């Protein structure tokens, strides 16, 4: 006979978990997320569960199960590796008319825990005759379909009001956050940057209006004032607007300006952080921006104006004296001036430098140089925006990784 599915609202209710191993470690966090007051009975527990007990998140009785432990519980989980103990726990719970789950024997378990997952405000639970692996596979497929919009029309969703500032990540469409993709699938209007992952726009429904807000270096551009106006104009018409940006909206993305403009005009804003290219692009090229014993700090700099320019707020002298990694954005056309300033203020001309163009995209390419040669190397390599420049000894870590891989790949 098929089981009857029920969503338990466990906020403030006592749940007994008997056993402190891997199964308990998986189930306890979900119970806590549901608001349950978890009581754990086990002579020993995993390090993660011990940490929860130390922080007061759960009550841990450091002993074996005793008859009477089920008293006052609304739900019982028998998850020890001892079949007899699990049987005794379930028998006591049954006698007290308390629902219980037995992890080691599905047929003897009065209740089953579904393979569950979340997509926005939807909770998915799958039961498949006590087969947890197949249930988890179906769960994953359903959740993924809900998250990317394949299983739900955007018109059937409860969409946010106003504007969402969504960080699209460093370029690869697969690196947008789950929440960002969900909101994009709900949009009535998308205002897209040049560096936003363009492949995502092709997935939009045909009636979604896409506004090109590209700012091409030294070329065509849409002013920031006009972009701000687009957001408010469409939101005031009752349309849900997604402002899709490359990277993170609040890391050199003018997201703060857009949020302020919307706030001044009474338009609500949802901010969805994105993976900033300042960290993601070096990582994609195998360069860690920090590395133990090499760099314990890194500085992210917008180089849209060069050192010495009246509009520059960057303290280049302090940067040159610091020992951390420097990550430069928008530096392609000004690299000669930047390198000269860093060397003038004390950075060695031999400091390793890496330049990564089109990071995370199929056309990604990188070159390595030194501070003294990087401007010439970039010119010779015809490097064009968008490109990230990494200055510091962490570049040598990437070189070492490449050398080790090359050595392992050689025939003995």
Kindly report, residue by residue over 25-81, the tens digit of the pLDDT.
989 998 999 999 999 999 999 999 999 999 999 999 999 999 999 999 999 999 999
Q: What is the mean pLDDT of residues 360-369?
A: 94
Under the banding of pLDDT at 50, 70 and 90, the label for residue 149 is low
Query: pTM here?
Result: 0.73
Average pLDDT over residues 383-396: 95
Q: Which of 73, 61, 74, 71 is nearest to 19 (CA)?
A: 61
DSSP string, 145-166: HHHTTTTS-GGGS-PPSSEEEE
Catalytic residue selected from 69, 88, 188, 193: 193
- Structure tokens of 10? 């466990």
């979900």: which residue's tokens? Answer: 30
| Contact of 385 with 361, CB cutoff 8 Å | no
Instruction: DSSP for 22-73, please give it.
Output: HHHHHHHHHHHHTT-EEEEE-S---HHHHHHHHTTSSEEE-S---TTTTTT-
pLDDT digits 0-9 by tens, 88-141? 999 999 999 999 999 999 899 999 988 888 877 788 888 887 677 888 888 888
pLDDT tens digits, residue range 276-291?
A: 999 999 999 999 999 9
DSSP states along 288-318: -S-BTTTBS-EEEEE-SS-TT-TT----HHH
**Mean pLDDT computed over every residue of the chain:** 91
Q: Which of 82, 104, 215, 315 is catalytic?
A: 215
Name the DSSP letter for residue 221. B
The pLDDT of residue 195: 85
Question: With 70 as the cut, is the pLDDT of residue 150 above it?
Answer: no
Cα 405–406–408 angle (5° rounding)? 65
Give the pLDDT of residue 201.
85
Distance CA 46, CA 232 (A): 51
pLDDT at 203: 81
Percent of all residues in the chain with a pLDDT value above 70, rounded to a whole number = 95
Give me the domains of the chain, ranges plus CATH numbers: 14-113 (3.40.50.720), 154-274 (3.40.1010.10), 279-402 (3.30.950.10)
Clarify whether 159 is annotated catalytic: no
**The pLDDT of residue 214:** 73
Dihedral of CA atoms 393, 394, 395, 401 in degrees, nearest 10, equals 130
Among 14-18, 45-49, 362-366, which range has the highest average pLDDT? 14-18
pLDDT for the residue 410: 61
Reduced to 3 states (helix: H, G, I; strand: E, B; else coil), residue 377 is helix
Strand order in the sheet with 365-370: 298-302, 325-329, 387-391, 352-357, 365-370
- The torsion of the CA quartet 284, 287, 292, 297, rounded to 10 degrees, works out to -90
Residues 6 or more apart in contact with residue 188 via CB below 8 angstroms: 208, 209, 234, 239, 240, 241
3-state SS assignment for residue 170: coil
Residues 6+ positions from 29 with CB-CB distance below 8 Å: none
Q: Cis bond leading into 386, ω under 30°?
A: yes
What's the confidence (pLDDT) of residue 26? 87
Average pLDDT over residues 10-30: 94
Strand ranges in 151-219 using DSSP code E only, listed in sequence order: 163-167, 189-192, 209-212
221-275 pLDDT tens trace? 788 999 999 999 999 999 999 999 999 999 999 999 999 999 999 999 999 999 9
> Where does residue 204 fall: left (phi above 0), alpha (psi -120 to 50 degrees), or beta otherwise?
beta
Q: Is 215 a catalytic residue?
A: yes
User: Closest by alpha carbon to 41, among 21, 64, 22, 25?
Assistant: 64
Q: What confidence tens digit (pLDDT) does each residue in 314-349 have? A: 999 999 999 899 999 999 999 999 999 999 999 999
Residue 39: the pLDDT is: 98
pLDDT of residue 279: 96
The pLDDT of residue 299 is above 90: yes
């Amino acid at each position: 006979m098929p089981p009857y599915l029920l969503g338990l609202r466990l906020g403030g209710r006592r749940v007994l978990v008997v056993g402190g191993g891997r199964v308990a470690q998986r189930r306890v966090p979900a119970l806590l997320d549901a608001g349950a007051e978890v009581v754990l009975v086990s002579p020993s527990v995993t390090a993660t569960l011990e940490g929860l007990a130390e922080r007061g998140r759960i009550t841990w009785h450091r002993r074996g199960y005793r008859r009477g432990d089920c008293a006052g519980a609304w739900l019982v989980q028998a998850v020890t590796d001892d079949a007899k103990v699990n049987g005794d726990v379930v028998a006591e719970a049954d006698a007290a008319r308390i629902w219980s789950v037995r992890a080691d024997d599905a047929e003897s378990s009065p209740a089953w825990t579904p393979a569950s997952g979340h997509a926005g405000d939807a909770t998915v639970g799958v039961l498949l005759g006590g087969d947890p692996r197949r249930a988890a596979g179906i769960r994953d497929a359903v959740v993924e379909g809900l998250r990317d919009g394949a299983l739900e029309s955007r018109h059937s969703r409860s969409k946010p009001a106003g504007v969402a500032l969504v960080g699209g990540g460093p370029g690869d469409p697969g690196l947008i956050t789950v929440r960002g993709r969900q909101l994009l699938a709900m949009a009535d209007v998308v205002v897209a940057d040049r560096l936003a992952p363009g492949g995502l726009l092709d997935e939009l429904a045909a009636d979604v209006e896409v506004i090109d807000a590209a700012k091409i270096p030294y070329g065509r551009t849409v002013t920031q004032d006009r972009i701000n106006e687009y957001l408010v104009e469409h939101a005031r018409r009752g349309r849900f607007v997604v402002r899709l940006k490359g990277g993170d909206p609040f890391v050199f993305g003018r997201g703060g300006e857009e949020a302020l403009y919307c706030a001044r005009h009474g338009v609500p804003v949802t901010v969805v952080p994105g993976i900033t290219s300042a960290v993601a692009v070096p990582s994609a090229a195998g360069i860690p921006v920090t590395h133990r014993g090499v760099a314990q700090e890194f500085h992210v700099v917008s180089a849209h104006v060069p050192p010495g320019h009246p509009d520059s707020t960057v303290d280049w002298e302090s940067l040159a004296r610091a020992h951390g990694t420097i990550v430069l954005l928008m530096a392609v056309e000004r690299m000669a001036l930047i390198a000269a300033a860093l060397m003038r203020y004390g950075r060695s001309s031999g400091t390793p430098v890496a330049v990564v163009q089109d990071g995370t995209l199929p056309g990604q390419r990188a070159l390595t140089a030194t501070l003294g040669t990087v401007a010439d190397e970039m010119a010779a390599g015809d490097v064009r925006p968008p490109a990230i420049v990494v200055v510091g000894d962490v570049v040598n870590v990437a070189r070492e990784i490449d050398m080790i891989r090359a050595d392992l790949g050689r025939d003995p």
